[in-house]
Structure 1
Amino acid sequence: MKHPSNDQPASVEADHHVHGNTSTTSRTAPGADKQGGHDAHADHEVHSHGEHAGHSTAMFRNKFWISLILAIPVVLFSHMFAMIVGYTLPEFPGSLWISPILGTVIFIYGGAPFLKGGIAELKSRQPGMMLLIAMAISVAFIASWITTLGIGSFNLDFWWELALLVVIMLLGHWMEMRALGSAAGALDALAALLPDEAEKVTGDGTESVPVSTLATGDIVLIRSGARVPADGTIIDGAAEFDESMITGESRTVSRGTGEAVVAGTVATDNAVRVKVTAVGSDTTLAGIQRLVAEAQASSSRAQALADRAAALLFYFALIAGILTFGAWLLLGSPDDAVIRTVTVLVIACPHALGLAIPLVIAISTERAAKAGVLIKNRMALERMRTIDVVLFDKTGTLTEGRPAVTAVTSAGGVSEAELLALAAAAEADSEHPVARAIVKAAAENRDAGALGYRGSGFSSMTGRGIQAIVNGSAVIVGGPNMLKHLDQQTPTEMSATVTEWVGRGASVLHVVRDGTVVGALRLEDRVREESRAAVKALQGRGVKVAMITGDARQVAEAVGAELGIDEVFADVLPQDKDSKVAELQSRGLKVAMVGDGVNDAPALARSEVGIAIGAGTDVAMESAGVVLAGNDPRSVLALIDLSRASYRKMIQNLIWATGYNVLAVPLAAGVLAFAGIVLSPAAGAVLMSVSTIVVALNAQLLRRMNLDPNRITTSTAQ
């Protein structure tokens, strides 16, 4: 994470002389409630559109199964169904009353949510899907009783259609509620990631304490295989951590002394000691819970479209019914007028259209959350498919945000391994980020580690570098000011290399042993390997990639060239970042901005889609429509892929659902009766059921998408 005051590479200084422990800022989500334990976050409410107000997933599930069991004998003892299938109904005392009685139970018990919802929509003068369903089942119920009681000469035995209609509607609502509740259910799963107790380090060793009693500054022991109880910083040890439950990243991540760990992650191989920096509602995990809940509560254009479509369908069905009744009366066929009108009203209830959009949105939000892509605003997901250019902030987004040794050059017969070993031994007692980068580079070099160099007498040379005794030799590590102070020059054999390093904007540290320059180290903010794959994959999808940074032009151009970025904005002051977004937009481009700092907030807010990476600062998260729980820029690809797939599913479902109505209602009204083509009530009910099931299953196919960032590699992205 960047330091909020600037956009320069984190701690890559030519003359590193300020040595000390850097503090870790706790990542607090906006509007965090200061609650004590993680159990406080388990409570949540599933928000959805009005038709589900006060209804639960369990209620729809229970009503569906009971209604399904009751519907079986209703269908089997239906005269119309027996006639269609071609079997003879068994006759015994009371057999004629099986369908009417059980059908009435289904209407009252299974249809209750729709009847109540329809009345509520009628009272609020906002007709929608619930009123459509209520009208259909009520018309079928009344018409069926008229036929059962022998009133008039109408053959309107709709008991089996009524039973199937209620069962299908309950199934559809159950599936929708399951999807809507899945991401919210993930909140409970997130809360369950925290252990109930933690091993707190005390003066006498360790003691097991409830997680809710931990406070900032406490030291906890995380054993191999144990979960981290609170956000913190490792102060002793190193381990591989499984962060998949937070970031969606399937591979373990190495964390060592001075690095942050997140509550809910698992130390897989070693024990470490962690200093707590955030507890309760201040933890990253709690922030993720809030973001997922906000995503479920947010509205979108697509959802609004579904609500408007439901209202139009009500008027469509009502007008179609009136016209059907009037037309058949004018033709002198009152019996057909009643039969055709009832059929139109029963089958004009296309719950498939009601499911078409909300179900896709709900499943998309859930899938994204499980992959560590947290959608705060559903509009962001819908817009992502239209993005023309992704503008990445450089430091901490495309790069690691911390210094790393990227090249070594030596002189005077000293090998590169020996040079690394000398510098690392001299820097071993320093906590400065540059020192840690050098020590890490030496540790990763097998030959350097085999030398076994040890340093002593460490001291800082203010403004110039550090010095120490390594295996009996005086070793100094520092930048240009150190060379001037010692009146030293870069050896001729290294001169061209060092000049090239300086030209690309890298920081250069020289290593002096016993008064002689023996080599130099190049330190840069290292490019993430994932960034290479992300850039190539975006370009492969027809999306341009731009980069913005406050770094000098030569530094930015070097990173841009390494990654193959289309456009680079360098030397950009923090307050001017949003103007660069506006500049891209003025060219007619739709922009997604990816950043992680306070300086990025205005640009995130101005862009069509703002994406905060790595669960960054509060302000960045507040301004973004999407938050990536991890630091992997490849997750942007997952967001684009999910957005495009979701849109395809919405269009497919809308075409299927509306296509059913366009064909079924006119046929049910009898517009082709002169040609002998009439849609019977039975056929209409079957078509309606098939339409609903197809839409629901089509939306469920989104669950098959692989959103793991590791699926996107440099080779496959091309």
Structure 2
Amino acid sequence: MGYMVEPIMDERTPHDGHSADGIAMRDHGAGHEMHTATDHVPSHDPHADHGDHTDHAGSHDHAGHAGHAGHGDHVARFRRLFWIMLVLAVPVVAFSPMFAMLVGYHVPDVFVLQAIPPVIGTVLYVWGGQPFLTGAISEIRGRRPGMMLLIALAITVAFLASWGATLGLLDHELDFWWELALLIVIMLLGHWIEMRSLAQTTSALDSLAALLPDQAERVNGDDVELVAPADLRVGDVVLIRPGGRVPADAVVVEGSANLDESMITGESRAVPRAIGDQVVAGTIATDSALRARVTAVGDDTALAGIGRLVAEAQSSSSRAQRLADRAAGWLFWFALLAGILTAIVWTAIGLPDAAVVRVITVLVIACPHALGLAIPLVVSIATERAARGGILVKDRMALERMRQVDAVLFDKTGTLTEGAPAVTGIAVAADFTEDDALGLAASAESDSEHPLAAAIRTAAESRGLARGTVSAFRSEPALGVRAIVDARTVEVGGPALLRQAGVTEMPEAAGWRAEGAIILHVLVDGRVAGALRLADAIREESRAAVRALQQRGVDVVMITGDAEAVAASVAAELGIERFFAGVRPEDKSARVAELQSEGRTVAMVGDGVNDAPALARADVGIAIGAGTDVAIGSAGVVLASSDPRSVVATIELSRAAYRKMRQNLWWAAGYNLAAVPLAAGVLAPIGFVLPMSVGAILMSVSTVVVALNAQLLRRLDLRPESVAAAPEQRTR
């Protein structure tokens, strides 16, 4: 330390009696942020059966793809099965007497040709229908009848009726071989498209895993050897070349570089990393080489932690999903009842053959396929988009509730502010400029390790001020620092220094003191050259975040342990009208409850241990990436970066996802409710009868529409700079 910390800090920060909310002298490097943001999460293998898609299977437990090990395998399976069945369906349709009669040609009365539809049709039923038949058995065993049972009933009735007609046991008009073939082909096409959509969604985890390089360069003495990232061990030193990816979480031991962390934090700007800074697996060194010592590998890395959060969010249930599950169950019984009534009515009017056709069509068109896909697909895409935007959703319900949030309670220190002191104002005496006063102070503080000295040096560097020649540096307890700078005696300190020198403070100091700022004076050859105002620096992003939230009708409230003057100053600068000051750590959750008692839906944003109870009490707890493990463990959403604009992005994502869920539910359920009566033949009296094959096509189209509508969510721009832009800029 350049000078005694305690006495000077006592004089400079009279209101800083709180330990947790004062100007925190802690590391908030982004590399450290990512490590603490994810290193604590519960154990969950990010690569273990993430294709299982629990919710999807829960709403319609297709044996064809429920409980499967990976959507990618099932995409290939359904694609292959679809093309094989399509080829087999061509001769079945071409040599079907009923189809030939409809089109206007005649199938020769040759046994071999007439045997083609029933023989190949049976292959289609057994092979092509196998996913639906086994799915139906699973649903029966699980006592959860759903769409697979409906499809199985439809193709089984068509299969048995066709064999009955072929053998002469039933009317020849019940020969449905060609319709059965088309039905199975269309169903397989719908499942292929569905599986491809789900595979694209769950690729969030695969793309996270793909961020790791194929090989790492491990330094072994004077040699560099190529190894797989999985072979790295804690303590190994790795070489990261320009343009290369970091193979594991590590701390820089040699060199400096700008790292692209956008794939982890969502921040578009490259961030500087030097000796002692943390670097995160999957990030890219853009301009220079680094050597770094591995601090975490495998499941302990930040990247693996993000994967666990994404997997847990995608497998967790939500209110909307439970609604869709119930709706799918109700729709099954609705379809079954409609099928029974259809059979009774058509048989009663003397058309039993037509009754079979109508029942099959009802069962096919009523399949709640689209309904079962409506919610899981939206949620999966939303959690993927969130992860890519640096928003890690631990609890899917938290993401769902964010759309209802009308009050965001921000912890001040480390959230709206940097959590470290910065020079926020300069006053100068006659014959001195701001650059003169700041440059001399920075030079005098050049050998000091005090956080205030570091803030002064940083401010001087940001202005491009060169340091003078320094000698005779010394720190004086309770006073400050003293040095010879370019042959002039320069002193920097607080009120005690002024009293010793017998000089008066700058006029601006009184106003700064009322705002709770730290004030240091700069003396040159015994006279006051200027004064520096230091305070917890407000993040540049905080202003945009507050403004964007207010534009969306969300009230912004600030909470801090700082004194009233400090809180009022920060609130005024950010445009925050309501704040809680002087709040003890144990009382923060009570302030959340106070807002909730006013009928507010509250999101709490914090990063410290003392924020954990408030995060847990809030309707939605949001921990910023620089936060402690305790805070993150209490939150439902974790921001990978410390950018408060990500809170706005979370609300935008929640609202957009809800819109898509609602649209999909209305389309899926509404389509079925309208189409089933048509399939049953309610318009038959006026001559309109819905063909079975058209019913199957419409059912598949419904699934495709829902899937495509959910995919539109991928177009949502969650970049912090975009979501916090003015409304007129966002619509351009």
TM-score tier after normalising by the smaller chain length: 0.7 to 0.9
CA distance in 2, matches of 1:401, 1:593: 18
Decide whether aligned partners of structure 1 residues 709 and 75 sit closer, same or farther in structure 2, where only a CA change above 3 A counts.
farther
* Shift of residue 359, structure 1, vs aligned partner: 1.0
Change (3 A) 1:507 1:103: farther
Given that 1:44 and 1:293 are in contact with CA atoms closer than 8 Å, whether structure 2 keeps it comes out as no
Aligned counterparts, 1:256-267, within 5 A: 256=274, 259-267=277-285
Aligned equivalent of 2:181:
160
* Counterpart selection for 1:704 from 683, 692, 715: 715
Secondary structure (helix, strand or coil) at the match of 2:36 reads: coil
Decide whether the 8 Å contact of 2:364 with 2:699 is kept in 1: no
Which residue does 1:417 correspond to in 2? 435
Determine whether 1:548 maps to 2:559: yes
Within 5 Å, give how 1:678-717 maps onto structure 2. Answer: 678-716=689-727
Determine helix, strand or coil for the equivalent of 1:127: coil
Q: Residue 8 and residue 198 in structure 1: after superposition, are their counterparts in 2 closer, same or farther (change >3 A)?
A: farther
C-alpha change, 1:250 and 1:686, in structure 2 (3 Å) is same
Check the 8 A contact 2:217/2:238 in 1, yes or no: no
1:197 has 2:212 as partner: no
- Quick one: distance in 2 between partners of 1:530 and 1:483? 37
Q: Does 1:114 align with 2:132?
A: yes
Deviation of 1:276 after TM superposition, in Å, equals 5.6
1:68 correspondence with 2:82: yes
Alpha-carbon separation, structure 2, partners of 1:554 and 1:674: 80
The question of 1:46 aligning with 2:46 is answered: no
In 2, the alpha carbon distance for the partners of 1:70 and 1:552 equals 74
1:355-399 per-position Cα deviation (integer Å, ceiling 9, x unaligned): 111111111111111111111111112111111111111111111
Paired residue for 2:354, among 336, 343, 357?
336
1:400 to 391, 398, 418: 418
SS of the aligned residue for 1:610 comes to strand
Specify whether residues 460 and 214 from structure 1 end up closer, same or farther in structure 2 by C-alpha distance, changes over 3 A only: farther
TM-score (norm 1): 0.88
Looking at structure 2, the residues matched to 194 and 264 of structure 1 have their Cα atoms a distance apart, in angstroms, of 11
Q: Distance in 2 between matches of 1:431 and 1:43?
A: 48
Match of 2:670 in 1: 659
Out of 313-322 and 668-677, give the one that drifted further.
668-677
Contact 2:97 2:107 (C-alpha < 8 Å) held by counterparts = no
Distance 2:101 2:516 in 1: 81
Identify the range of structure 1 (154-163 vs 88-97) with the bigger mean alpha-carbon deviation.
88-97
Give the deviation of 1:701 after TM superposition. 0.9
Aligned partner of 2:267 in structure 1 is: 249
* More moved, 708-717 vs 151-160: 708-717
The residue number in structure 1 matching 2:482 is 467
Residue by residue over 1:158-194, the C-alpha shift from the partner in whole angstroms, topping out at 9 and shown as x without a partner, is 323422343134224413531452222234224x158
Q: Pick closer, same or farther for the CA change 1:5–1:189 going to 2, 3 Å.
A: farther
Change (3 A) 1:352 1:579: same
Task: Indicate which of 515, 522, 537 corresponds to 2:533.
Answer: 522
The change in CA–CA distance for 1:490 and 1:324 in structure 2 (over 3 A counts) is same
Checking the alignment, whether the CA contact within 8 Å between 1:179 and 1:359 is kept in structure 2 is no
How far, CA to CA, are the matches of 1:257 and 1:431 in structure 2? 17
Moved more, 434-443 or 179-188: 179-188
CA distance in 1, matches of 2:517, 2:390: 33
From 541, 545, 548, give the equivalent of 1:537: 548
* Alpha-carbon distance, 1:558 to partner: 1.4
> Residue 481 of structure 1 corresponds to which residue in structure 2?
496
2:322 matches 1:304:
yes
Check the 8 A contact 1:501/1:508 in 2, yes or no.
Answer: yes
CA distance in 2, matches of 1:135, 1:188: 41
Contact kept, 8 Å, 2:213 with 2:246, in 1: the verdict is: no
Identity of aligned residues (%): 53
Pair 1:27 & 2:39 matched: no
Change (3 A) 1:272 1:341: closer
Partner of 2:580: 569
> 2:11 is matched with which residue?
none
Say if 1:76 and 1:187 are closer, same or farther in 2 by CA, change over 3 A. Answer: same
Cα drift, residue 422 of structure 1: 1.5
Hey, what does 1:318 align to over in structure 2? Answer: 336
Query: Is contact 1:302–1:357 with CA below 8 Å preserved after alignment?
Result: yes
Alpha-carbon offset, residue 100 of structure 1: 4.2
Post-superposition offset of 1:240 = 2.3
Alignment match, 1:289: 307
Q: Does the C-alpha gap of structure 1 residues 476 and 663 become closer, same or farther in structure 2, counting only changes over 3 Å? A: same
Report SS of the residue matched to 1:509. strand
Aligned residue in 2 for 1:434 = 452
Aligned to 1:626: 637
Count residues with an aligned counterpart.
693
The answer on whether the counterparts of 1:60 and 1:173 sit within 8 Å (CA) in structure 2 is no
Q: Does 1:455 align with 2:470?
A: yes
For residue 196 of structure 1, what is the amino acid of its counterpart?
A
Q: Secondary structure of 2:644's match? A: coil
Give yes or no for contact 2:100–2:107 (8 Å, CA) kept in 1.
no
Cα distance change, pair 319–148 in 1 and its aligned pair in 2 (3 A): same
Cα distance in 1 between the residues matched to 2:412 and 2:633: 20
SS of alignment partner, residue 210 of structure 2: helix
Choose from 365, 386, 393 the match for 1:375: 393
Cα 1:688/1:10, change in 2 over 3 Å = same
CA distance in 1, matches of 2:420, 2:351: 83
> Does the Cα contact within 8 Å between 2:216 and 2:238 map onto a contact in 1?
no
* Cα displacement (A) at 1:339: 2.5
155-164 vs 433-442, greater mean Cα deviation = 155-164
CA displacement, residues 507-544 of structure 1 (integer Å, 9 cap, x when unaligned): 11122233333222111222122111111111111111
Provide the residue aligned with 1:595 in structure 2. Answer: 606
- Residues in 2 aligned to 1:456 and 1:227: alpha-carbon distance in whole angstroms: 44
Which of residues 656, 667, 671 is equivalent to 1:645? 656
Mark the CA change 1:370 to 1:603 in structure 2 (over 3 Å): closer, same or farther: same
Contact 2:314 2:379 in 1 (8 A): no
Match of 2:72 among 52, 55, 58: 58
Tell me the CA shift for residue 247 of structure 1.
Answer: 0.7
Secondary structure at the counterpart of residue 603 of structure 2? strand
Separation in 2, partners of 1:395, 1:545: 15
TM-fit CA distance, 1:282: 3.8
Give structure 2 stretches of 5+ with no counterpart. 1-16
Q: Residues 339 and 282 (structure 1 numbering): CA distance in 2 closer, same or farther, change over 3 Å?
A: closer
Tell me the distance in 1 between the aligned counterparts of 2:231 and 2:477.
42
What SS does the aligned partner of 1:593 have? strand
Q: AA paired with 1:65?
A: R
> What TM-score, normalized by structure 2, do the two folds share?
0.86
Offset at residue 405 of structure 1 (A):
1.3
Aligned-partner Cα distance in 1 for 2:142–2:534: 66
Q: Does 1:185 align with 2:206?
A: yes
- Tell me by how many angstroms 1:351 deviates: 1.0
- Cα offsets for 1:622-677 (capped at 9, x unmatched): 11111111111111222111111111111111121122211221122223323333
Any conservation in 1 of the 2:621–2:637 contact (CA below 8 Å)? Answer: yes
In the other structure, the counterpart of 2:14 is none
Give 1:288 shift: 1.6
Q: What SS is found at the alignment partner of 1:357?
A: helix
- Looking at structure 2, the residues matched to 524 and 289 of structure 1 have their Cα atoms a distance apart, in angstroms, of 38
- Of stretches 534-543 and 237-246 in structure 1, the one that deviates more from structure 2 is 237-246
**Which secondary structure state, in structure 2, belongs to the residue aligned with residue 46 of structure 1?**
helix
Distance 1:231 1:185, change over 3 A: closer
Q: Which amino acid aligns with 1:174?
A: M
Structure-2 residue corresponding to 1:16: none
What is aligned with 1:511?
Answer: 522
| CA distance, structure 1, for counterparts of residue 124 and residue 392 of structure 2 | 40
Query: Please, which moves more after superposition, 600-609 or 339-348?
Result: 339-348
